């Protein structure tokens, strides 16, 4: 082969390689810390009758109202930024000619570019639901099957920043091929979109190594419900699989235990603290689902607790784990910043009273532990703060000291242990 031809072939191979690299894996640079935001589903479900339920129906006004409140009620100032439309936003059929997806014309009369601009003008980001299969989970709209490129382009044209891709109606679809394929189409659009995959939830034996390569987030547990029972089941599911789940999460890739249900009807105050603390330990996305106009002040204060959000967003990005279970007590631990001068990291530690154990299932429990048993071995000790009341310094604790805490039923106490410098 003449030398010029050889150069051309090499150049072509080089360009091909660059192109393949840019569309093959995730590499979107997003979700370096877990995303914070709001999603409609658990609270607003699939209400489509805006005449009977004007405040609750899935419509542009719900998302505009929520965007307004995220800003005016101080949620955006502490980091909540994604406004995510879940299921039930679509027309039942694609556009007959272009085959594009269409938002329901009655409930989104000005289209999704209008809504997306509205959300962006508030300084927030726009998320949208879709399904990898034949239909969305609520049967209301067409799924992406057969239209990955078209739908990815449509999402990019709507300036979507976050895609939740569900996995209903997947007969004859291999999820291990489909989710990466849709992700490649998202990459090809050139618009960075957080890729949230429900992929493992629909599989018996998920391949997390593969999932991590293609998704920023992945749902690993059942749909969350507004109850302590549901929160504790999700925690237990994580606990059972934590060896595998913690291995793959880190900056850019996170386990998603589903939405924060704080601020609704059935999750009491103690359990609200519990969900928030454990989601922060897990390095989970903090995606609320509630009516921001009616969230009670004490729950709003929890949701806006900067110290706990700080644990969730910790730059080390190491997800925590449950290190101890006995009776009603669980201890969950996460390594966090800062380090001391000898490179010893801090710890966030949550003591849980799951409240299901004799002799007194529903009583507050006093629990004490020698700190070194939790791995806290910095000889000079740790300064401790209560993350729910972060202005209080609880003092200096050495590894051999006993730490005593009293935990309400279905509740949690949550502390940060920061190692002091060694001289
Ligand atoms: C599934 C998902 C939920 C929600 C609904 C919408 O159940 O797991 O999070 O998106 O579909 O129909």
pLDDT beyond 50 at 341: yes
pLDDT for 392 equals: 81
Least confident of 259-268, 342-351, 353-362, 378-387: 353-362
Please tell me whether residues 84 and 160 are part of one structural domain.
yes
Please tell me whether residues 260 and 352 are part of one structural domain.
no
Nearest CA to ligand 1 atom 1: 137
Question: Ligand 1 pocket check: which of 37, 86, 203, 221 to mutate, most ligand atoms within 8 Å of Cβ?
Answer: 86
For residue 386, what is the enclosing H or E element?
A: strand 382-386
Please tell me whether residues 84 and 219 are part of one structural domain.
yes
Please tell me whether residues 373 and 287 are part of one structural domain.
no
- Residue 17's pLDDT band, with cuts at 50, 70 and 90, is very low
pLDDT for 390 equals: 83
pLDDT beyond 60 at 18: no
Residues 6+ apart with CB under 8 A from 140: 46, 48, 87, 88, 90, 92
Tell me how many domains the chain contains. 2
Q: How many CA atoms lie within 13 A of 111 on its CB side?
A: 10
Both tokens of 310, joined, read 């700080």
Q: How many CA atoms lie within 13 A of 96 on its CB side?
A: 0
Residue 298 belongs to some domain of the structure: yes
pLDDT for 316 equals: 98
Nearest CA to ligand 1 atom 5: 137
137 CA distance to ligand 1 middle (Å):
6
Give the mean pLDDT of the chain: 94
- Residue 283's pLDDT band, with cuts at 50, 70 and 90, is very high
Residue 237 belongs to some domain of the structure: yes
Residues 219-228 have a mean pLDDT of 98
Residue 4 belongs to some domain of the structure: no
Which is the closest atom of ligand 1 to the Cα of 129? 10
Q: Last residue of some domain: 273, 293, 312?
A: 312
Helix (H, G, I), strand (E, B) or coil at 415: strand
Per-residue pLDDT tens over the stretch 134-155: 999 999 999 999 999 999 999 9
What CATH number is associated with residue 118? 3.20.20.70
d(CA 377, CA 321): 18
Residue 359 belongs to some domain of the structure: yes
Residue 131 designated active-site = no
Provide the residue range defining the domain that includes 239: 11-312
Please tell me whether residues 66 and 29 are part of one structural domain.
yes
Cis peptide bond prior to 37, omega within 30° of 0: no
166 CA distance to ligand 1 middle (Å):
7
Q: Which residue has the tokens 């039923």?
A: 409
Per-residue pLDDT tens over the stretch 83-137: 999 999 999 999 999 999 999 999 999 999 999 999 999 999 999 999 999 999 9
Is the Cα torsion angle 42, 47, 48, 50 positive or negative in sign? negative
Residue 2 belongs to some domain of the structure: no
Residue 197 pairs with which residues in a beta bridge?
Answer: 165, 218
What CATH number is associated with residue 357? 2.60.40.1180
Cβ burial, residue 114 (10 Å; 0-12/13-18/19+):
middle
pLDDT for 399 equals: 98
Is the Cα torsion angle 216, 221, 225, 227 positive or negative in sign? negative
Catalytic residue among 166, 226, 312, 314: 166
The share of the chain scoring above pLDDT 90, in percent, equals 90
150 CA distance to ligand 1 middle (Å):
22
d(CA 326, CA 128): 41
Residue 5 belongs to some domain of the structure: no
Residue 223 designated active-site = yes
Which is the closest atom of ligand 1 to the Cα of 224? 9
Please tell me whether residues 15 and 47 are part of one structural domain.
yes
Residues 334-342 have a mean pLDDT of 98
pLDDT beyond 80 at 26: no
Residue 3 belongs to some domain of the structure: no
Q: Last residue of some domain: 312, 330, 347?
A: 312
pLDDT beyond 80 at 345: yes
pLDDT for 10 equals: 46
- Residue 3's pLDDT band, with cuts at 50, 70 and 90, is low
pLDDT for 245 equals: 97
pLDDT beyond 70 at 186: yes
Which is the closest atom of ligand 1 to the Cα of 222? 8
Please tell me whether residues 91 and 121 are part of one structural domain.
yes
Q: What is the pTM assigned to this prediction?
A: 0.94
- Residue 356's pLDDT band, with cuts at 50, 70 and 90, is confident
Both tokens of 122, joined, read 């508030």
Tell which residue, 197, 207, 259, 269, has the closest CA to residue 234: 259
Q: Last residue of some domain: 260, 288, 312?
A: 312
Per-residue pLDDT tens over the stretch 171-182: 999 999 999 999
Please tell me whether residues 186 and 256 are part of one structural domain.
yes
pLDDT beyond 60 at 16: no
Please tell me whether residues 110 and 158 are part of one structural domain.
yes
Please tell me whether residues 296 and 402 are part of one structural domain.
no
Residues with CB under 6 A from ligand 1: 41, 86-87, 129, 136-138, 166, 198, 223
pLDDT for 166 equals: 98
pLDDT beyond 80 at 327: yes
Please tell me whether residues 123 and 214 are part of one structural domain.
yes
Please tell me whether residues 297 and 362 are part of one structural domain.
no
pLDDT beyond 80 at 52: yes
Nearest CA to ligand 1 atom 6: 87
68 CA distance to ligand 1 middle (Å):
25
d(CA 368, CA 347): 17
């Amino acid at each position: 082969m003449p030398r010029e031809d050889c150069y051309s072939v090499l150049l072509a191979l080089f360009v091909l390689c660059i192109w393949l690299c840019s569309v093959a894996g995730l590499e979107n640079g997003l979700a370096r810390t877990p995303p914070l935001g709001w999603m409609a589903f658990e609270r607003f479900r699939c209400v489509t009758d805006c005449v009977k339920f004007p405040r609750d129906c899935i419509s542009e006004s719900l998302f505009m109202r929520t965007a307004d409140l995220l800003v005016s009620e101080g949620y955006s100032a502490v980091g909540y930024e994604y406004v995510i439309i879940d299921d039930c936003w679509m027309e039942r059929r694609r556009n007959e000619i272009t085959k594009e997806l269409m938002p329901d014309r009655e409930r989104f009369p000005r289209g999704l570019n209008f809504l997306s601009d509205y959300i962006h003008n508030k300084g927030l980001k726009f998320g949208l639901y879709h399904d990898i299969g034949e239909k969305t989970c609520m049967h209301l709209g067409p799924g992406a099957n057969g239209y990955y490129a078209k739908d990815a382009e449509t999402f990019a044209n709507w300036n979507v920043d976050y895609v939740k891709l569900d996995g209903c109606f997947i007969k004859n679809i291999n999820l291990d091929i489909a989710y990466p394929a849709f992700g490649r189409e998202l990459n090809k659009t050139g618009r960075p979109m957080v890729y949230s995959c429900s992929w493992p939830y629909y599989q018996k034996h998920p391949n997390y190594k593969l999932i991590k390569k293609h998704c920023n987030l992945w749902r690993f547990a059942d749909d969350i419900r507004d109850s302590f029972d549901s929160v504790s089941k999700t925690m237990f599911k994580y606990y059972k699989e934590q060896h595998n789940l913690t291995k793959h999460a880190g900056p850019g890739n996170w386990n998603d235990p589903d939405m924060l249900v704080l601020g609704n009807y059935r999750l009491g105050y103690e359990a609200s603290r519990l969900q928030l603390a454990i989601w922060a330990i897990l390095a989970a996305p903090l995606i609320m689902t509630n009516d921001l106009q009616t969230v009670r002040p004490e729950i709003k204060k929890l949701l806006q607790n900067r110290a706990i959000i700080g644990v969730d967003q910790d730059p080390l990005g190491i997800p925590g784990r449950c290190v101890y279970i006995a009776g009603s007590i669980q201890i969950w631990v996460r390594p966090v910043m800062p380090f001391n001068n000898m490179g010893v990291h801090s710890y966030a530690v949550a003591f849980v009273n799951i409240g299901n154990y004799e002799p007194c299932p529903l009583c507050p429990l006093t629990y004490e532990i020698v700190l070194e048993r939790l791995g806290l071995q910095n000889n000079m000790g740790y300064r401790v703060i209560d993350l729910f009341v972060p202005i209080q310094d609880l003092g200096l604790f050495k590894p051999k000291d006993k730490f005593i805490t009293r935990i309400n039923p279905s509740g949690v106490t949550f502390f940060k242990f920061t190692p002091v410098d060694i001289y």
